[in-house]
Structures are given as structure tokens and as C-alpha cells.
Amino acid sequence: MALVVICGQPCSGKSTAATCLADALQESEPKPSVRIVNESAFHLDRNQRYADMPAEKNLRGVLRSEIDRSLSKDSIIIVDSLNNIKGYRYELWCLARGAGIRYCVLHCDAGGLDCRTWNERRREEGLGSSYDDRILEDLIGRFERPDSRNRWDSPLFELRPHLDGIRKSSAAIADAVAYLTKRVDSKTRDVKILQPTIATQSAHTTQANSLYELDRATLEVMNEIVKAQTDSASMGLNKRNVVSSLGPGFPTIDISGTVTLPQLRRLRRTFMKLTGQSSLSGPPPPTDADSAKRLFVDYLNREIGNV
Ligand SMILES: Nc1ncnc2c1ncn2[C@@H]1O[C@H](COP(=O)(O)OP(=O)(O)OP(=O)(O)O)[C@@H](O)[C@H]1O
């Protein structure tokens, strides 16, 4: 039926929000089946879960598998975890799209200062385990705020725990409940039920991040080309541009003649499509940005001669 991704800084009130949302959903008619997926299954202390990158990646991977297994047309799954990485929220969005269900993000928008205070209080009052200062600061610094302009952060409901607290009746929770339980028909415009595409039906979830990397990496290469073209035009050079600013170890891009922005966009779209399609039957797209850039540069060097 739906996937709700709760996100926010450590100790910002996410678990409180998840419980309030679940309770508020239980009061709606007909009562949906609601399940909170959280980190408690880990039987590890908070600090061990986020001790280093491998531990954190492992946590995200296990949660993602659990979410993937739990999604269905009949229940609402609430993910109570930091969900602080944009790429990870994108992966969860892909899972919801693959399942053909509703999706939304509920952000506990508390600032670092409040989270530090609440964490300190939790420590002093023995209200459950608190984050060590080093881990708390690291997580606060790495939080990637949701942005409703991203498909994977939309619709976005924002709680302001430091101003209004978190309650079943909080406006953001009431709005989320309305969105999640609204009946839809062919005329409904404001509720989006994600539709699976060939890519999301067939691609494995591990590929979602690869596609995200690919998207970003190809955009970066395209921007470099446009920049090099602008620079060389301003220097009065227009015969041949060499883009070398991608960094050491990358092939250069020879542009004999002028490639326009629409042509570049078209090439990028085709490349994304081809790479996505080949990943369905062959190897998955590259998972790191550098390999994705290299692949795209090779493709451009082959194609630009034919433009
Ligand atoms: N608006 C608030 N005012 C005062 N204290 C708050 C507020 N919101 C949360 N807290 C306190 O912060 C602590 C953490 O709350 P909660 O467990 O809901 O946050 P969390 O984001 O899920 O934490 P974690 O990142 O550890 O999972 C609790 O002790 C709670 O009382």
C-alpha cells in the first residue's frame, strides 16, 4: 500500500514520529495494516551500528532487504532509521516504485543543537542508550537534507520537533495520514501511486545506487564539457576542445567541432538507456562514480565523431 521513509538527524525524534504516525493511521477508517521497520532487530548498540562505514553499510543493506521483503499492496511500512543518505532514499524510492505503491518522506527537522541536547539528556537520565559524541558529530555532519524537488524525497512532510514537539495531531503527521489513506480514482491528481517500469521490475535493488551514481557521474562529465567549450570560446579557440579537467587517470574527451547542449543531452539519455538495458541481461552498471565517468567518456569519444 505504501512506504513511509522517516529521516532526520540522530536523536531528532524519528522513533517518536514513527510511533505517532502508526497510532494516527490506526485511528483512520478502514484501519490499514501498519508495520514499523527499525534498527532494533540488530541487537547492537547504536554506536556499534554506526561505528564505521562497513558497519553502517551493513545496517543499511539489511534494512533494505527487510523493507523489500515487507512491501505489499495491503500494508503501510514505516522505516524508522536515519535514512540520511540521498542515494539510499533513492534506493528505497525504487523499491516502492518496483512494488507499485505510494511513497512519502517524513522529515524530523531538528537542528544539531537540539539533537545534541536531547542526546545528552538521554545519557544523563538513562533513557536508553545514547550516541557517543564522536559518532553523533559525524552523523550530524553527514546528514543530507531531503529536498522535495527530488522524486525520492517527495511528497515531503516536515515535522519541527523543537518548535511544536511531535504528536499524533502534528500537522505533518495529519497530512501524511491524509496522503496515505486517501482513496484514489482516475480523477485523483494529488496522490501518486508509483508505477513499476521495466527497469524497476527487473533490476536488482543493488543496481539502484548504480543508476543513481551513473546519473550523477554523466551529468558531471556533461557539465565539464560545457565548461570547457565556454572557456575555449572565450579564448577564441573553437576548432578543438580537450576536456582534461575530469582529473588524472581519466581519458580526455576530444571534441572536434562543436557539440551543442541538446546533442550532449541526447547522447547522455541514450547512454543511460543503453547502460540500464544492458544491466538487465548483463553486468550491472558501474557502482562507483569514477568507473561510470570513464564509461561515459569512452562512449562520448566513440559517438562524438559521428555527431
Ligand atoms: N521535541 C522534543 N523535545 C524534547 N525532547 C525530545 C523531542 N523530540 C525528541 N526528544 C527526545 O530525544 C530522544 C530521542 O527521541 P527518539 O528516540 O524519538 O529519536 P530518534 O531520532 O529516533 O533517535 P535515534 O537516532 O537514536 O534513533 C528522546 O529521549 C526524546 O525524549
Atom of ligand 1 nearest to the CA of 162: 1
Q: What's the 195 CA to ligand 1 centre distance in angstroms?
A: 35
Residue pLDDT, tens place only, 268-294: 888 887 776 554 444 556 667 787 888
Same domain, 213 and 281: yes
**Is residue 158 within a helix (H) or strand (E), and if so which, with residue range?**
strand 156-159
Q: Are 161 and 114 in contact (CB under 8 A)?
A: yes
Amino acid in the structure at residue 175? D
Burial level of 57, CB count in 10 A (0-12/13-18/19+)? exposed
Residue 66 and residue 153 in one domain: yes
Q: 74-88, 147-161, 189-203, 282-296: which range is least confident on average?
A: 189-203
pLDDT score of 197: 60
Best mutation site among 6, 7, 9, 11 for ligand 1, i.e. most ligand atoms within 8 A of its Cβ?
Answer: 11
pLDDT, tens digit, 9 for 90 and up, residues 155-171: 999 999 999 999 999 99
pTM over 0.90, yes/no? no
pLDDT at 207 over 80: no
Helix (H) or strand (E) holding 35, with range, is: strand 33-38
**Which atom of ligand 1 is nearest the CA belonging to 46?**
26
Q: Among 6, 14, 16, 162, which is best to mutate for testing ligand 1, by the most ligand atoms less than 8 A from CB?
A: 16
Task: Say which DSSP state 131 is in.
Answer: -
Taking CB atoms and a 6 Å cutoff, what residues make up the pocket around ligand 1? 8, 10-16, 46, 118, 122, 127, 161-162, 165-166
Tell me, in angstroms, the distance from the centre of ligand 1 to residue 109's CA. 12
- Ligand 1 atom 8, closest CA: 13
296 CA distance to ligand 1 centroid (A)? 44
**By residue range, what is the domain housing residue 25?**
2-181
Residue 258 sits in the same domain as residue 169: no
Which residues touch 24 (CB under 8 Å, ≥6 apart)? 168, 169, 173, 174, 177
In angstroms, what CA-CA distances link 278 with 85, 199, 272, 275? 27, 11, 10, 5
Which of 12, 81, 170 is the best mutation target for the ligand 1 pocket, counting ligand atoms within 8 Å of the beta carbon and taking the most? 12
pLDDT for 73 beyond 70: yes
Asked if residue 160 and residue 244 are part of one domain, the reply reads: no
Q: State which H helix or E strand residue 80 sits in.
A: strand 75-80
ipTM: 0.96
Nearest-CA residue for atom 24 of ligand 1: 11
Is residue 197 one of the residues assigned to a domain? Answer: no
Residue 254 lies in a domain: yes
Residue 190 lies in a domain: no
Give the closest residue (by CA) to ligand 1 atom 15: 13
In a domain, residue 193? The reply is no
Beta bridge partners of 157: 106
For residue 247, how far is its CA from the centre of ligand 1 (angstroms)?
43
Domain of 152, CATH number, reads 3.40.50.300
Beta carbons of 66 and 41 less than 8 angstroms apart = yes
Contacts 24+ apart (CB under 8 A), 120-125: 122/11
pLDDT band at 137 (very low <50, low <70, confident <90, very high): very high
Indicate the helix (H) or strand (E) that contains 7. Answer: strand 2-8
* Residue at 196 is within a domain: no
